[in-house]
Amino acid sequence: MSETTESDRGEATETLERTPLHALHLELGGKMVPFAGYDMPVQYRAGILKEHQHCRAAAVLFDVSHMGQAELRGRGVRAAIEALVPGDLQALRPGRMRYTMLTNQGGGIIDDLMATRPADDAAEDRLFLVVNAARKAVDFPTIEAGLPEGVTLDRLDDRALLALQGPKAAEVLARHCPAAADLKFMGSTPATVAGIDAIVFRAGYTGEDGFEISVPGDRADALARLLLAEDEVEPAGLGARDSLRLEAGLCLYGHDIDERTTPVEAGLAWTISKRRRAEGGFPGADVILEQIENGPPKKLVGLRPEGRAPAREGAEITTEDGTRIGEVTSGGFGPTIGAPVAMGYVEARFAEPGTPVSLVVRGKPLPARVAAMPFIKKGWQG
């Protein structure tokens, strides 16, 4: 889960928001760019390729404090939010988290998000949310407008969020937070990390093992420096975050999913449980459930171009004889694979892995094949 970069490039730096780690990014040599209304590091001195490779080999630290954190409170809170999302949140056990989406009446995706039921016994009537930075101004009012009386949304704008990702992430974090080592994938727990009160989540957006750590904003710098002082950890920016998630076949909001794409078209029907399919009751249920039953008109697929030239977002996807069948939504070079990879939507009848297609790059059709995702093998067992 991540956010769009659309329409930020022209913003003046002084109008951009800053995370609590902004000064640290500059100190580390971060190349700062406008991103979702924030001044964010796209890379550091090592460069995107080395940051990507270090995440696959050891561990990197991302600043994702620009994302929206909030807490829902009130009796029946998990049933209440099910009126807005297709995910099965009533089945969430304490300390577990779930990936789901806000949907509109046409079945389109307003945003994708993570919802967590706190681990403590007193948390029956609370739910922790993390949403995309570029969509939080839409998400939070949408959620508030759909909540019943007695259930409220509290924005946690004073909190920071750090992501420690890579095969060495658990080993590193356990030195400062022993509870992290026992945390299962898609699990969460309140904990102290080197004496700093935090909420620790075991998830991620890279295809590797990893953790997100929510802390008060005024403690973020201390925590980041502590983790970066470990030999295995290097800082990483948005560039590596994007190439890592692309190799892992994970959607980027505003590119691979948006209000014009449904969860079924995006290959996310697995997030909708048997109960939710039977009961419906979420926005766009008629469209989404019909597509689950009969198939969608288009599907998000992986693409493996032949040769070395990458196909970028917006490139046409055609049949071998030149008939347009879709469009690339994300594309670039996969450092782990050593070859270009892409994602895009095609007419459903062309979605079978192995199907030969062409990708139109600079007016020239380049041969490619539809490919299964993820493009890399998961580096851990979860």
In a domain, 101, yes or no: no
pLDDT at 120: 81
Task: Judge whether 120 and 191 are in contact, CB under 8 Å.
Answer: no
Amino acid at the residue 63: D
In this structure, the answer to whether residues 301 and 243 fall within a common structural domain is no
In this structure, the answer to whether residues 53 and 162 fall within a common structural domain is yes
In this structure, the answer to whether residues 49 and 184 fall within a common structural domain is yes
Sort 322 into a burial class: Cβ within 10 Å, 0-12 / 13-18 / 19+.
exposed
Q: Residue 302 and residue 330: Cα distance in Å, rounded?
A: 10
pLDDT at 381: 43
Q: What are 103-160's pLDDT values in tens digits? A: 999 999 999 999 999 998 667 899 999 999 999 999 999 999 999 999 999 999 999 9
pLDDT at 11: 44
In this structure, the answer to whether residues 227 and 344 fall within a common structural domain is no
In this structure, the answer to whether residues 305 and 367 fall within a common structural domain is yes
Region 273-295: mean pLDDT is: 98
Lowest mean pLDDT among 235-239, 340-344, 367-371, 373-377: 373-377
Amino acid at the residue 217: G
Residue 59 zone, left/alpha/beta (φ > 0; ψ -120 to 50; rest): beta
Please check the confidence at residue 259 and state whether its pLDDT lies above 50: yes
Task: Judge whether 198 and 184 are in contact, CB under 8 Å.
Answer: no
Task: Judge whether 333 and 309 are in contact, CB under 8 Å.
Answer: no
Chain centroid to CA 198: 21
How many domains does the chain contain in total?
2
Q: Which domain holds residue 233?
A: 13-67+158-247
pLDDT at 74: 96
Q: Residue 95 and residue 124: Cα distance in Å, rounded?
A: 11
> What SS3 state is found at 122?
helix
In this structure, the answer to whether residues 303 and 241 fall within a common structural domain is no
Could you please report the per-residue DSSP string of 1-23?
-----TT-TTS-GGGSB--TTHH
What is the four-CA torsion angle of 252, 269, 146, 90, rounded to 10 degrees? -120
Q: What is the value of pTM for the model shown?
A: 0.94
In this structure, the answer to whether residues 36 and 163 fall within a common structural domain is yes
Q: Which residue has the higher pLDDT, 3 or 67?
A: 67
In a domain, 193, yes or no: yes
Please check the confidence at residue 96 and state whether its pLDDT lies above 70: yes
* Kind plus residue range of the DSSP H or E element containing 27: helix 22-27
Q: Which residue in the block uniquely carries the two structure tokens 């948006």?
A: 258
- Residue 136: count other Cβ atoms within 10 Å of its Cβ: 24
In this structure, the answer to whether residues 242 and 171 fall within a common structural domain is yes
In a domain, 371, yes or no: yes
Task: Judge whether 210 and 166 are in contact, CB under 8 Å.
Answer: yes
Q: How far is CA 313 from CA 22, 80, 139, 359, in A?
A: 29, 37, 25, 11
pLDDT at 212: 98
Q: What are 48-80's pLDDT values in tens digits? A: 999 999 999 999 999 999 999 999 999 999 999
Q: Residue 233 and residue 172: Cα distance in Å, rounded?
A: 8
Lowest mean pLDDT among 116-125, 166-175, 309-318: 116-125
The 8-class DSSP code of residue 253 comes to: B
Closest C-alpha among 151, 128, 150 to residue 68? 128
Task: Return the CATH number at 341.
Answer: 2.40.30.110
Task: Judge whether 267 and 257 are in contact, CB under 8 Å.
Answer: no
